[in-house]
Amino acid sequence: MSDRSIRIDAKTAEGIFVQIGEMEQKLKLLKKQLAKLLPPRYGSEEWWKKAEREADEDIKAGRYTTLKTEEELQSFLDSLK
């Protein structure tokens, strides 16, 4: 097995590390942007926050049903069939 190596001066090495740092920052930004486009993973903290926000919006908009008795519940469930 041959050992292949290259030698670079300190200035070149520093430039490489700067470029790597810049790429890491760009990857972090890309990851955040992609996360905004994709739905949160089911059951994750982000998913729960989104579900709670949507539920609050539904309640404010009156998109809910109040059931006071077992008969009302049964009637509601039957209407879903």
In this predicted model, what pLDDT tens digit does every residue of 23-80 receive, in sequence order? 999 999 999 999 889 988 999 999 999 999 999 999 999 999 999 999 999 999 999 9
Q: Residue ranges per domain, the chain?
A: 8-38, 42-81
pTM value? 0.50
Q: Half-sphere exposure of 81 toward its Cβ, with a 13 Å CA cutoff?
A: 4
Q: Where are the alpha helices (DSSP H) in 1-81?
A: 10-37, 45-60, 70-79
